[in-house]
């Protein structure tokens, strides 16, 4: 599947979604966001897709929100700026949540600079695989803004509260080596093997029961906010569903046949 600013390819049950505005370092426009939402909704529903890789075409992963869109927003009538901004935020949060709640493993294959919203979108994936040329910057402060793509939620959970404040308050760039050291990136890869490495990792992560993966991820995503009792309760309900799944039944029967 291909559109003007988003490319989606499928290989061995792995969907690769590539931001495709390389001349602008994949800065997100309203039109691009709509296409990305459509692509994420499609792969989320597709039972044949077992994992998703998000990357960028060209030299950059994603430069964040398109600055020309910011200028257009400021040119709106004063009485409409707030509501236009609020409406845009709903779409931003919906996009990020589609990645975060995707019922299958997601990997951000960060091929270059991930700044602002680009850095936030990388964090909304389950894992980050960074090339040696990758960099990360929560540079919102340089535009007089705060992270609005989930960075204030995701970043402290990866690097701790104090370091997240330092990165957000300064807006400084973090190179690939530091990103790995402080927990922003999970693994590093050479640029020429980034997508192949991401696909290999995605295949490893998604070979188990799709039912168990989806249910387990939904609970793990809430585990910092829930009490132990709530996690146990949700786990009991999810396990009851797993008991009825074809994957569980088939694996038990296969084990029995192997040992008999």
Secondary structure, 3-state, the chain: CECCCEEEEEECCEEEEEECCHHHCCCECHHHHHHHHHHHHHHHHCCCCCEEEEEECCCCCECCECHHHHHHHHCCCHHHHHHHHHHHHHHHHHHHHHHHCCCCCEEEEECCEEECHHHHHHHCCCEEEEECCCEEECHHHHHCCCCCCCHHHHHHHHHCHHHHHHHHHHCCEEEHHHHHHHCCCCEEECHHHHHHHHHHHHHHHCCCCHHHHHHHHHHHCCCCCCCHHHHHHHHHHHHHHHHCCHHHHHHHHHHHHHHC
Q: What is the pLDDT of residue 2?
A: 52
Q: Is residue 62 part of a domain?
A: yes
Return d(Cα 128, Cα 40) in angstroms, integer.
18
Residues 36 and 146 occupy one common structural domain: yes
Q: What is the pLDDT of residue 83?
A: 86
Is beta strand 6-11 parallel, antiparallel or unpaired with respect to 51-56?
unpaired
Residues 147 and 221 occupy one common structural domain: no
Q: What is the pLDDT of residue 73?
A: 64
Residues in the chain where the model's pLDDT stays below 50? none
CATH of residue 102's domain is 3.90.226.10
Return d(Cα 59, Cα 208) in angstroms, integer.
34
Q: What is the pLDDT of residue 213?
A: 97
Residues 75 and 56 occupy one common structural domain: yes
pLDDT digits (tens, 9 = 90+) for 99-136: 999 999 999 999 999 999 999 999 999 999 999 999 99
Out of 205, 223, 246, pick the residue that ends a domain. Answer: 205
Residues 151 and 186 occupy one common structural domain: yes
Record the pTM: 0.93
Q: What is the pLDDT of residue 69?
A: 62
pLDDT digits (tens, 9 = 90+) for 39-73: 999 999 999 999 999 999 999 999 998 876 666 66
Residues 133 and 238 occupy one common structural domain: no
Q: Is residue 1 part of a domain?
A: no
The domain tally of the chain equals 2
Per the structure, the complete domain to which residue 246 belongs is given by 210-259
Compute φ and ψ for 113, nearest 5 degrees.
-70, 130
Q: What is the pLDDT of residue 194?
A: 98
Q: What is the pLDDT of residue 260?
A: 67
> Computed from CA positions of residues 77, 79, 83, 89, in that sequence, does the dihedral angle turn out positive or negative?
positive
Residues 221 and 178 occupy one common structural domain: no
Q: Is residue 169 part of a domain?
A: yes
Out of 169, 190, 205, pick the residue that ends a domain. Answer: 205
Residues 248 and 197 occupy one common structural domain: no
Residues 70 and 184 occupy one common structural domain: yes
Residues 125 and 251 occupy one common structural domain: no
CATH of residue 235's domain is 1.10.12
Residues 144 and 218 occupy one common structural domain: no
Residues 94 and 133 occupy one common structural domain: yes
Residues 189 and 248 occupy one common structural domain: no
């Amino acid at each position: 599947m291909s559109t003007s600013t988003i490319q989606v390819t499928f290989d061995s049950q792995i969907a690769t979604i590539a931001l495709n505005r390389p001349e602008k370092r994949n800065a997100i426009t309203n039109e691009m966001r709509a296409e990305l939402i459509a692509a994420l909704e499609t792969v989320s529903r597709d039972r044949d897709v077992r994992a998703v890789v998000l990357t960028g075409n060209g030299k950059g992963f994603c430069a964040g929100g398109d600055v020309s869109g910011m200028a257009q927003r400021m040119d709106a009538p004063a009485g409409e700026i707030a509501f236009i901004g609020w409406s845009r935020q709903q779409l931003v949060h919906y996009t990020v949540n589609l990645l975060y709640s995707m019922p299958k493993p997601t990997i951000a294959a960060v091929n270059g600079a991930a700044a602002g919203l680009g850095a936030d979108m990388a964090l909304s994936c389950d894992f980050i695989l960074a090339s040696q040329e990758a960099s990360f910057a929560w540079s919102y402060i340089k535009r007089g803004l705060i992270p609005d793509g989930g960075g204030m939620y995701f970043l402290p959970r990866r690097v701790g509260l104090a370091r997240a404040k330092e990165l957000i308050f300064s807006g400084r760039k973090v190179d690939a080596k530091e990103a790995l050291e402080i927990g922003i990136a999970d693994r590093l890869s050479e640029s020429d093997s980034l997508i192949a490495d991401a696909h290999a990792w995605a295949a490893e992560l998604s070979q188990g029961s799709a039912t168990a993966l989806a249910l387990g991820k939904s609970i793990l995503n809430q585990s910092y906010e829930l009490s132990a009792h709530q996690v146990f309760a949700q786990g009991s309900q999810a396990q009851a569903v797993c008991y009825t799944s074809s994957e569980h039944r088939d694996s038990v029967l296969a084990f029995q046949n192997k040992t008999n």
